[in-house]
Structure 1
Amino acid sequence: MSEHVHHVGITVEDLDQMVSFYQEAFGFEVLDRFEVSGESFSTGVGVPDATGSFAHLDGDGVRLELVEYDPEGSDATPDAVNQPGSTHVGVGTDDVDGVYEDLPETAEPVSEPQTTASGARILFLRDPEDNLVEVIDP
């Protein structure tokens, strides 16, 4: 048996808005859009009467799964990257500054691009639903 990372997933409130954001901000292409519901799905995700609307996007070989649930949950997203349970999507680029300059208005940069002690150029931002995204040129 061989395990591998299949995708990175983010639960979102507005699937169409978030698909547009990741397409506009990073040029990700939509691989597939679909909906899943029924007893097996509800049991599998532990949400009674759940329906999931999914979009799979190609982040240069890494599949980003965005999913909008009905019914929507009420748990809050962690506010800081150092809070246990916090997650982020890492997007590789060779032009962090160019990405920063071209960010859509719906993106909220945490700071301007920075160069770390290791020499990596990074930019952290929040997408329209407050999910943390790291843009990095390692």
Structure 2
Amino acid sequence: MLKGFEHVGITVKNIDRSLAFYVDLLGLELRVRRRVFNGDELAFLDAKGPMLEMVCPATGALTAEDVAIGRAGVRHLTFNFDSVDEIYNILLDAGVDIVEPPRDAHNRDIARRVAFCRDPDGIMIELIER
């Protein structure tokens, strides 16, 4: 029997920079950070339920690429906020790469407002307000 969605894993180039984005700006909580046997660094961040797993390979990583329409893959990570406009202003002031400023959601049965930005590695992040 399914108990819930546990976590999603991403690869990052610089774990300190990624932690600054996800923890300091978005508000996720760092639960675990450690170096593993092969020199990679690992972190688990609590997103108020499901977790975000970050792996920073000791050998480095390339910048993320968007998944093209018609190609299978993860298109974006979505985080729910009390106010999309407030988090947007925080990210804008921090110099985060903004893809789309806040607007009313097209799928109003699921969300009220949305905005899009990129994390330090180019991964698309959707910000929603229910």
TM over 0.5: yes
1:94-129 deviation digits (Å, cap 9, x = unpaired): 200111011152411111111123222111100111
TM-score by length of 1: 0.78
Q: Of the two, which has the highest radius of gyration?
A: 1
Unaligned residue ranges in structure 2 (runs of 5+): none
Local SS of the residue matching 1:20: helix
- Let me know the Cα RMSD of the aligned residues: 2.2
Does the residue aligned with 1:56 lie in a helix, a strand or coil?
strand
Q: Summarize the Cα distance change of 1:63–1:110 in structure 2 as closer, same or farther, 3 Å threshold.
A: same
Runs of 4+ residues over 4 Å off in structure 1 = 1-4
1:125 & 1:61 partners in 2: Cα distance? Answer: 22
Query: Gaps (5+ residues) in structure 1?
Result: 38-49
Per-residue CA deviation, residues 56-112 of structure 1 (Å, 9 max, x unaligned), is: 1111112111110122355x6223563622432110112001110111524111111
Cα distance in 2 for partners of 1:87, 1:54 equals 22
In the alignment of these two chains, the number of paired residues is 125
Alpha-carbon separation, structure 2, partners of 1:26 and 1:96: 11
Task: Tell me which amino acid in the other structure corresponds to 1:96.
Answer: V
**Residues 11 and 18 of structure 1, relative CA distance in 2, 3 Å threshold:** same
TM-score by length of 2: 0.82
